Structure formats: C-alpha cells, structure tokens
Amino acid sequence: MRLGLMQGESAVLDVDANLSAIEAAAGLAREGGADLLVTPELFPVGYAPYRLREELDPGKLPGIAQPLLDIARRHEIGLLYSLPELGPPQGDDLPESHDGRWRITASLAGADGRLLAHYVKVHLFGPEEREVFTPGTAPPVVVDFCGMRLGIAVCYDIEFPETARAAALRGAQALLVPTALGTGYDRIPQRLIPTRALESQLYVAYANHSGVEDGFALSGGSVVADPFGDLHAQAGKGAELLFADLDPKRVEAARRDVPYLHDRSPEIYREWGTEDFDSRA
C-alpha cells in the first residue's frame, strides 16, 4: 500500500483555501500512486483552539466534512482528515448528534467517498487544548484498507506507548497520526515515533503542519517509521508531499524477529499496580 502524507500551512478559518490545498494534495498523491492521503490535525480549519471555539459555527461542520468526502471520491483515493466536532461519538461510532462539547477527531474516507472510521482524540496537550476540548475515551479505531489493518490516533496520543500498543493488539499494522507539532520538539518525530513503531511493531505515519498559524509556529518534519524502528520517509520543515510504501510482510517479519506482542505478561503487569503518578514526588 502506498501512503501519501500532506505537510503544509493551514489558513486559520479559511476553509475554502484549506480544502483547495487538500484537493491539490489529493490529486498529486493519486498521481504519485498513493492509495491514501493523510492530512494534519485540524487542517481544514487550522490549528487555533481558542479561535475555533469562539468563531467556528458548528452548524457549518457538515459542510466541511462533505467536501472532504467528495475530494476522496473525485480523486479515487482514501483520505484521513481531522476536524473539530460537537458530540458524543466515540471510537467506531460515526457522528450523528452533538452534546455541546468540542472534541478533536480524525476520520477516514474510502476512495468511494464513504466514511469508514471515526476517532476522538484521547490525550489533549497543554492548557489551551484542555480548556477548549473534551477528551475521548475509546482506543484507536482499526479498519481494513487496501490489504492492511490501519489504526487511527491524533497528535499527543502517540506520545503515550499505550496508544500504539492498543492499536497493535487490535490488529493494526500501521497507525496513522495527524498532528500539529510546534517547534522545539524535533525529538518527537526523530526519536519517539520510531520507538513507538519498534516497540509495537507497526508502521507509524505522522503528518504535521508547517509554517505559522495564528502565531503558533509548527515544525513540519512529518515522518513514517517502519516496524523495525527505522525512518522510512521524512519531510523537511516546509510544505511537502511525502510518500511511503507500507508492506504487511515487513510487519510480520518484525513480529517474528522479536515477538514483543506475544511475549507480553499482562497478568504480571496488573500485579504491579496502577497508582496515578504524583508529579510532586
């Protein structure tokens, strides 16, 4: 399966411009042989939590989601996109109604424009996200796509080993992660993403913004790490369309080489206790 990762600068609340950028990337990705395009976290509306809460009319969200499904259908390519939403959907549930609470989501559209999976971000980063959004509680959703099992998480989720491990235990061979990573955290794509891929023996595709959005500088540096923990593809700091070929046989080879998933001892781990970490210690 060939994957395309879109990296670029989103125009905050300029939905038409952002949809046009995604459409252009989808066309180029399909021309490059990609089966699926992964776009960054909240790219269609821009990464600016306070402004989204104050200025984005939730009634317009269906009018943003439908054009994304149409882009997938027109270009006959899968599309992973991230939007805010109001509502209770969790995990495999598809959005139907809202309860007045904002969430960050990622959704997978098939090449026919049909919605295949929907996920709500669990780990919110920093005071701004935690003030504006409500976290999800469901594990990474996993879905069959082009002969592979794909998991979905968002940004800060991947910085917790439990996320990738949960996806792997649910059968994922690759974990797709739209993100909005600021400057100063290059160690995340360069060190942590390969580690997550290695320890849970799956591909991790991490698609970031670039440029500056509402005063927030984003670092680019999108990567794809393979199940052996090698960087399979990596982008620079500017706008870029990154390609990576994912091979399920490489996942199988990694899991045969060192059977981390098989050799786990969850019954022992439970005996170790689950006390919350006290940051004052």
**Catalytic residue positions, numbered:** 41, 121, 155
What secondary structure letter does DSSP report for 193?
H
The order of strands in the sheet holding 78-86 is 115-120, 102-109, 78-86, 36-38, 2-7, 240-245
3-class SS at 158?
A: helix
- Residue 59 backbone dihedrals phi, psi, to 5 degrees: -65, -15
> Whole-angstrom Cα distance, residue 281 to residue 275?
13
Q: Which residues contact 65 (CB under 8 A, 6 or more apart)?
A: 81, 83, 107
Q: Which amino acid is at 248?
A: P
Q: Name the CA dihedral angle for 75, 76, 81, 86, rounded to a multiple of 10 degrees.
A: 100
Cα 153 to the chain's mean position, in Å?
Answer: 5
